[in-house]
């Protein structure tokens, strides 16, 4: 398929969305950008178009990376004891779902409370802070040594992060988050402020699509079990409150972030990275999801259909 034509076809969708404004540094991003990088893991072929090499804030897509890293460090059952795999029916930063449902742990790893809890599980090792380990692991699994923390976005996250602080302190009060709460929050704010490209996310997707093995050097980066678990969680809770809608429409495990990034893993076929910063009401990239839907249809990627 011609990716430039696909971008043209989806371009007008940008006008239906808006860049995230609740984090001021993200509000400055030019909405008129759309890029894609496809990594065909079966044939070891790559294709890209549009803003595929533009760096943007990873935001919630980082939750995929920290989940994988926590599973690698602690084992899947330890992680499963901390977070569920259920949809919430509430926005990603809701503080209420544990109150309402009387759950003892966050309902899934991709809502902010679950993600902060996952980040809190990563402890200092060999003199490396939790964030330094996440950064190192991100560079490895995204095959992108140029991933760095964007100081302006990090400062902006710190200034506007009171909802996340309240979630973390709620978890602490409930004795669910038992490590240092300030450090856990700092790790979370920093992981959201890492700068990636469509190519970095396509590489991450390719490792997941390829059962945990990096297709660029055949090194196993994560266990098959971690790859399968994470793809399932992406499919069911990766797109905020619209996860069910897009599972039906696109049928490819995907995680979005409010920076406008999307990572998709089409099992045994493709890793896909997409970027377009204008978001819909739920926080997903509008043009990005339109492009992903088009690609999924053209390449027959829907896991339920083919
Ligand atoms: N840093 C953002 C927050 O915690 C990430 C949100 C997102 O991408 O879903 O609110």
Fold of 3-59+199-299: Beta-lactamase (3.40.710)
Torsion of CA 163, 164, 165, 168, to 10 degrees: 130
pLDDT at 241: 86
CB-based contact 266:72 (threshold 8 Å): no
β strands within 187-267, DSSP E:
195-196, 254-256, 261-266
Domain ranges of the chain: 3-59+199-299, 61-192
Residue 270 CA to residue 252 CA, distance in Å, equals 10
Q: In whole numbers, what is the pLDDT of the chain averaged over residues?
A: 95
61-192 to CATH, choices 3.40.605.10, 2.60.40.640, 3.40.710.10, 3.40.50.150: 3.40.710.10
Q: Of 239, 223, 244, 215, give the one whose Cα is nearest residue 38.
A: 215
Topology match between the domains 3-59+199-299 and 61-192:
yes
Query: CA dist 118 to 69, 87, 122, 142, 236, Å?
Result: 9, 17, 7, 20, 18
Cβ 258 under 6 angstroms from ligand 1: yes
Q: Is 4 annotated as a binding residue?
A: no
pLDDT at 306: 85
pLDDT at 1: 86
pTM for the model stands at 0.97
- Positions in the chain short of pLDDT 70: 95-97
Tell me the per-residue pLDDT of 37-57, one tens digit each, with 9 for 90 and over.
999 999 999 999 999 999 999
Q: Is 112 annotated as a binding residue?
A: yes
Residue 213 phi/psi, 5° resolution? Answer: -100, 130
- Closest atom of ligand 1 to 257 CA is 8
Candidate from 93, 134, 243 with most ligand 1 atoms within 8 A of CB, to mutate: 93
β strands within 22-125, DSSP E:
35-40, 45-50, 56-57
């Amino acid at each position: 398929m011609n990716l430039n034509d696909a971008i043209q076809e989806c371009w007008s969708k940008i006008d239906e969305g808006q860049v995230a404004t609740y984090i001021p540094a993200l509000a400055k991003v030019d909405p008129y950008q759309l890029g894609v990088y496809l990594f065909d893991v079966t044939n070891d072929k790559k294709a890209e178009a549009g803003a595929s090499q533009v760096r943007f804030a990873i935001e919630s897509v980082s939750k995929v990376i920290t989940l994988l890293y926590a599973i690698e460090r602690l084992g899947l059952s330890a992680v499963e004891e901390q977070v569920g795999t259920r949809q919430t029916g509430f926005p990603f930063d809701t503080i209420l779902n544990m109150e309402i449902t009387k759950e003892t742990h966050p309902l899934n790893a991709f809502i902010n409370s679950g993600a902060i809890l996952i980040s809190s599980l990563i402890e200092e090792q060999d003199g490396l802070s939790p964030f330094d380990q996440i950064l190192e692991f991100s560079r490895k699994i995204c095959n992108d040594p140029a991933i760095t923390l964007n100081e302006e976005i990090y400062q902006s996250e710190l200034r506007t992060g009171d909802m996340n602080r309240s979630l973390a302190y709620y978890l602490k009060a409930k004795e669910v988050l038992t490590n240092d709460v300030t450090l856990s929050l700092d790790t979370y704010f920093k992981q959201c402020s890492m700068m990636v490209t469509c190519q970095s996310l396509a590489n991450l997707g390719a490792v997941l699509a390829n059962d945990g093995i990096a297709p660029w050097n055949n090194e196993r980066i994560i266990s098959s079990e971690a790859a399968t678990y994470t793809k399932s969680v992406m499919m069911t809770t990766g797109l905020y409150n619209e996860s069910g809608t897009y599972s039906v429409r696109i049928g490819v495990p995907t995680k979005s972030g409010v920076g406008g990034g999307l990572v998709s893993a089409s099992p045994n076929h493709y890793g896909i990275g997409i970027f377009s910063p204008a978001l819909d009401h739920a926080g997903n990239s509008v043009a990005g999801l339109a492009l992903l839907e088009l690609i999924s249809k053209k390449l027959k990627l829907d896991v339920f259909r083919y």
